[in-house]
């Protein structure tokens, strides 16, 4: 049923990756993104790929799921790869010369790196965040990480509460949309034929009832929350408190080390070691 779909896709489980503190995972995701953007040579990419593979292995999420996550962008990946191969000028002699096309080693390496970069970005962030962290603990993690901003009067708690209520009501609203669609279909509404304008118009009988009932829901929910003594984060405690554990530190150190290494590699002077073909591929800079 449609209502099983939530934002991203969370796979409940009890793997070490699931058990990490959401704040750790958010920090790790940020570190990984930095590392991925600094990575510009084969060693760095090898390190990151290894990290991604380790994450997949211990999360016990099937490889098929990961592939499914990448599938929608494969066309874009191929397209940019081809562009990279064709448009990059190299120093040495081209590998292939044909009509106005010349392909250099640099082009191929660059294309592979670019594709790897996008794939790693998706795999690592979804491994850390969407696949193994429930939306609600993500929200908790964000609220906690952003709480220093409260000092400069950023309503962090309010934003977090809005996020979690949105998450709570997404399945409800999807279910409701389904119901209203069926109701209008029963009155002969047709959502699947005609041109763009006709189709857009056909949505009115769904959107208006949906909006009206959402407002009603919002009002009732606000009343219910007030009756349960809600008054923002004033004097509020929490049932679940986030706590860093040993494994959080281990993970943080590992990823931080990889990131630091990759940054170092990327800013090390190119001429540090004598050039050669093996060297070029290992530490190719783009």
Partner 1 sequence: MSEILKLENVSYVYSKGTPFEKVALNNVSVAFERGKITGLIGHTGSGKSTLVNLLNGLYKPTEGRVLLDGEDIWAKPKEIAKVRYRVGLVMQYPEYQLFDETVRSDIGFGPRNRGLSREEIDVRIKEAARFVGITDEMLDKSPFDLSGGQKRRVAIAGIVAMGPDVLVLDEPAAGLDPKGRREILGGLRRYVEEKNITIILVSHSMEDMALYCDNVVVMNRAEVFRTGTVREIFSESGVLASVGLDVPGISGIAAELISRGIPLEGELYTVEGVKDAILRYIRGGAR
Partner 2 sequence: MKDEIIRTENLSFTYESDGDEVLVEDKLRGVKNISLSVKRGEYVAVLGHNGSGKSTLAKLLNMIISPDSGKIFIDGVDVTAEDFTEDDVYNTRRKIGMVFQNPDNQLVATVVEEDVAFGPENLGLPREEIRRRVNSALDKVGMTAYAHHAPHKLSGGQKQRVAIAGIIAMKPEVIIFDESTAMLDPLGRRDVVGIMEQLNREEGITVINITHYMDEAARADRVVIINDGQIAADGTTREVFSKVELLHKMGLESTQGNELLYSLGLSGEKISGEGLTSEECVEAILGYLQGKVK
The two structure tokens encoding residue 224: 């219910």
Out of 54, 67, 96, 208, point to the residue binding partner 1 (CB under 8 A): 208
Interface with partner 1 includes 195 (CB under 8 A)? Answer: no
* Per-residue exposure over 15-45, b if at least 16 CB sit within 10 Å of its own CB, e if not: eebbebbbbbbbbbbebbeebbebbbbbebb
Residues 7 and 133 sit within 8 Å (Cβ to Cβ):
no
Q: Report yes or no: 259 and 28 within 8 Å, Cβ to Cβ.
A: no
Q: Binders of partner 1: how many residues, by CB under 8 A? A: 21
Partner in contact with 134, chosen from partner 1, partner 2, none, beta carbon below 5 to 8 Å by kind: partner 2
Structure token digits, residue 45: 């990419």
Residue 46 binds what, of partner 1, partner 2, none (CB under 5 to 8 Å, by partner type)?
A: none
Closer Cβ to partner 2, 233 or 280, answer by number: 233
Out of 212, 249, 250, 268, name the contact with partner 1 by CB under 8 A. Answer: 212
Shortest spacing between CB 51 and partner 2, in angstroms: 30
For 61-108, the DSSP string reads: --HHHHHHHHGGGHHHHHHHHHHHHHH---SS--SEEETTEEE-HHHH
CA nearest neighbour of 69 among 126, 29, 147:
126
Out of 50, 230, 245, 281, the residue judged to bind partner 2 by CB under 8 A: 230
Site string for partner 2, 104-143 (x = CB under 8 A): ------------------------------xxx-------
Quick check: helix, strand or coil at residue 196?
helix
- Specify the residue for token string 């790869």: 81
CA distances from 20 to 176, 224, 267, 276 (A): 34, 33, 31, 43
Q: How far is the CB of 237 from partner 2 (least distance, A)?
A: 5
Residue 216 Cβ vs partner 1, minimum distance, rounded to whole Å:
9
Q: From partner 2, partner 1, none, which one binds at residue 171 (CB under 5 to 8 Å depending on kind)? A: partner 2
Rank residues 117 and 157 by Cβ distance to partner 2 and give the closer one: 157
76 near partner 1, judged by CB under 8 A: no
DSSP H/E element including 158? helix 156-186
CA torsion through residues 182, 188, 189, 195, sign: positive
Report if residue 213 touches partner 1, rule: CB under 8 A. Answer: yes
Does residue 186 interact with partner 1 by CB under 8 A?
A: yes
Contact 191, 181 (CB under 8 A): yes
The listed partner (partner 1, partner 2, none) that binds 135, CB under 5 to 8 Å by sort, is partner 2
Residue 175 CA neighbour count, 13 Å, CB half? 7
Select the binding partner of residue 53 from partner 1, partner 2, none (C-beta < 5 to 8 A, by kind).
Answer: none
171 binds partner 1 (CB under 8 A): no
240-259: contacts with partner 2 (CB under 8 A): 240-241
32 binds partner 1 (CB under 8 A): no
List residues near partner 2 by CB under 8 A.
3, 134-136, 164-165, 167-168, 171-172, 175, 216-217, 220-221, 223-231, 235-241
């Amino acid at each position: 049923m449609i209502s099983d779909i939530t934002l991203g896709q969370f796979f409940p489980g009890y793997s070490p990756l699931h058990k990490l503190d959401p704040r750790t995972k958010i920090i790790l995701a940020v570190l990984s993104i930095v590392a991925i953007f600094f990575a510009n040579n084969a060693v760095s990419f090898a390190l990151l790929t290894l990290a991604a593979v380790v994450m997949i292995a211990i999360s016990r999420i099937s490889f098929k799921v990961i592939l499914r996550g990448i599938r929608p962008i494969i066309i874009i990946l191929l397209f940019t790869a081809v562009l990279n191969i064709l448009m990059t000028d190299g120093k040495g002699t081209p590998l292939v010369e044909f009509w106005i096309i010349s392909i250099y080693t640099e082009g191929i390496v660059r294309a592979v790196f670019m594709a790897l970069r996008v794939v790693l970005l998706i795999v690592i962030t979804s491994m850390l965040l969407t696949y193994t962290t429930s939306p609600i603990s993500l929200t908790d993690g964000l609220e906690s990480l952003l709480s220093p901003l409260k000092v400069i009067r950023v309503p962090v708690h309010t934003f977090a509460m809005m996020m979690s209520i949105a998450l709570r009501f997404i399945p409800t609203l999807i279910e409701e949309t389904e119901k209203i669609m069926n109701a209008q279909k029963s009155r002969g509404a047709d959502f699947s034929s005609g041109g763009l304008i006709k189709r857009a118009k056909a949505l009115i009988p769904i959107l208006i009832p949906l909006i009206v009932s959402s407002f009603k829901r919002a009002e009732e929910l606000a009343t219910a929350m007030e009756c349960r003594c809600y008054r923002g984060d004033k004097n509020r405690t929490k049932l679940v408190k986030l706590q860093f554990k040993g494994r959080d530190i281990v993970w943080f150190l590992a990823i931080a080390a990889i990131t630091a290494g990759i940054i170092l590699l990327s800013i090390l002077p190119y001429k540090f070691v004598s050039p050669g073909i093996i060297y070029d591929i290992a530490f190719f800079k783009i």
